[in-house]
């Protein structure tokens, strides 16, 4: 189960993006989803870090605990419904489920991914696992963070 969560996080991180170590933190990340909101939802103190494929930080925005252990990754896209369909295909093995009440269209996959769209803006949130097992964030918590990131709340 833990291996599949890491593999799934890798799929979300790489589809469709490239990660370059040492990239600076995108200043829009804190506006899109403040670290304080991620800390509150996860119950751990987090900070934003730049992309770093060596630690799984492949999103446009990446939150980690001290020591840069990943908690949450966010991909931000502007292709609308086709982007959601791309993720639906990539996540097919995880049996994506439609989610109501999060933007114009949303889905969850496994126990750690939510993809949501509002207009042309699409976000993909992927929670990472705690050292003791289980994700830092549940699907309902990811849905709430997606609403906030899409400025629906």
CATH number at 140 reads 3.40.1000
Distance CA 30, CA 93 (A): 32
Give the pTM: 0.84
Alpha helices in 15-138 (DSSP H): 28-32, 35-42, 81-90
Note the pLDDT of residue 22. Answer: 64
**Arithmetic mean of pLDDT, 83-88:** 95
For residues 140 and 10, which has the higher predicted lDDT (pLDDT)?
140
Would you state the torsion angle of the CA atoms of residues 28, 17, 84, 71, taken in this order, to the nearest 10 degrees? -60
- Residues near 143 by Cβ (< 8 Å), separated by ≥ 6? 99, 101, 102, 106, 108, 114, 116
List the one residue out of 2, 90, 136 whose CA is nearest residue 122: 90
**103, burial (CB in 10 Å: exposed 0-12, middle 13-18, buried 19+):** buried
Q: What are the b/e assignments for 62-84, b being 16+ CB within 10 Å?
A: bbbbeeebbbbbbbbbeebeebb
Residue range 90-141, pLDDT digits in tens: 999 999 999 999 999 999 999 999 999 999 999 999 999 988 888 999 999 9
Note the pLDDT of residue 105. Answer: 97
Report the mean per-residue pLDDT for the chain. 87
**Arithmetic mean of pLDDT, 62-77:** 95
Q: Does residue 61 have a pLDDT over 80?
A: yes
* The total number of structural domains that make up the chain: 1
Look up the domain containing 37 and give its range: 2-149
């Amino acid at each position: 189960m833990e291996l599949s969560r890491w593999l799934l996080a890798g799929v979300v991180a790489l589809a469709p993006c490239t990660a370059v170590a040492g990239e600076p933190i995108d200043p829009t990340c804190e506006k899109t989803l403040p670290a304080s909101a991620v800390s509150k939802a996860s119950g751990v103190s987090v900070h934003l870090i730049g992309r770093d494929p060596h630690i799984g930080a492949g999103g446009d925005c990446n939150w980690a605990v001290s020591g840069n252990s990943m908690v949450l990754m966010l991909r931000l896209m502007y292709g609308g419904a086709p982007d959601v369909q791309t993720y639906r295909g990539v996540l097919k093995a995880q049996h994506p489920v439609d989610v109501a009440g999060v933007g114009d269209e949303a889905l969850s996959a496994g126990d750690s991914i939510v993809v949501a769209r509002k207009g042309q803006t699409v976000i993909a949130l992927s929670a990472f696992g705690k050292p003791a097992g289980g994700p830092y964030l549940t699907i309902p918590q990811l849905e709430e963070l997606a609403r906030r990131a899409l400025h629906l709340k």
